[in-house]
Amino acid sequence: MNIPSYQARKRFGQHFLHDKQVIDRLHRVINPQPGELMVEIGPGQGALTLPLLRRLGHLEAIELDRDLAAYLVENCASEGDLHLHNVDALTFDFRTLAREQNQRLRVVGNLPYNVSTPLLFHLLAQVEVLEDMHFMLQREVVVRLAAKPGGKDYGRLSVMVQFYCGVEPLFTVKPGAFMPPPKVDSMVVRLKPHRPSLAPEIPHAALNRVVSQAFSQRRKTLANALKGLLGSADLKVLGIDPRQRPETVDLEQYLALTRYWLAHR
């Protein structure tokens, strides 16, 4: 497949992967198997699309750029069944696709840096239909995904993603692997949803509210940050020091805080 003469568009956050060694390594860690239902987000010029399509025979892809969508459909036609959705991945209904195929989805992609966090939250809200996710992200985002309590990288994104998924950073990718090269390193990460859920009784919205409020004022003590939701006495009942900072509170403690808030609000 010949790569077209195409100017990357800043508004789409486009950085096209072209390094064959990186592409091959990414394909190996994804390890696609015939019969699996895979969705690629942001296929761009098709660097990963083609090897996936050859391996799987059928691939769903989401590409917002109309010009690239048309190019991919034309150039992949002889390689397999590429079903391309020319829509914004932030509004895509992954549940419907999974139900139509009666199969959980494996999701992969080189995600645009400017939408990676909201896109992760969009996927987490539909996590029950996902088998796993492999993403190329800005390295600092992956560091935040995998961060443990006590450090500056640990925050809302860490807690919410780790509630839903095991996080496994895989390998770093240098800017030269892309055209145009980004200004920062990238990293490939594997997200594997917990089966069963760590706390199926806790709604996404409830945990997100508690965690979001805690980290909206991370310089304050936990008691001050959660004012209006939970007080110092509530924290003490749970065995949590009200003087702790939000970044020192682990996932299990955030789950306990959310359960308590749901029971006493």
| Token pair belonging to 13 | 């956050």
Pairwise CA distance, residues 169 & 16, whole Å? 21
> Alpha helices of the chain — where are they, by DSSP H?
20-30, 49-56, 66-76, 94-101, 116-124, 139-146, 156-164, 204-216, 222-225, 232-237, 251-264
Residue 2 half-sphere exposure toward CB, CA atoms < 13 A: 2
The response to whether 110 counts as a known ligand-binding position is yes
Which DSSP state fits 5? -
Amino acid occupying residue 112: P
The response to whether 88 counts as a known ligand-binding position is yes
Helix (H, G, I), strand (E, B) or coil at 49: helix
The response to whether 247 counts as a known ligand-binding position is no
Q: Which residues contact 3 (CB under 8 A, 6 or more apart)?
A: 16, 18, 45
Which DSSP state fits 127? G
The response to whether 17 counts as a known ligand-binding position is yes
Pairwise CA distance, residues 34 & 23, whole Å? 19
Binding residues, by number, are: 15, 17, 42, 63, 88, 110
Binding residues for S-adenosyl-L-methionine, by number, are: 15, 17, 42, 63, 88, 110
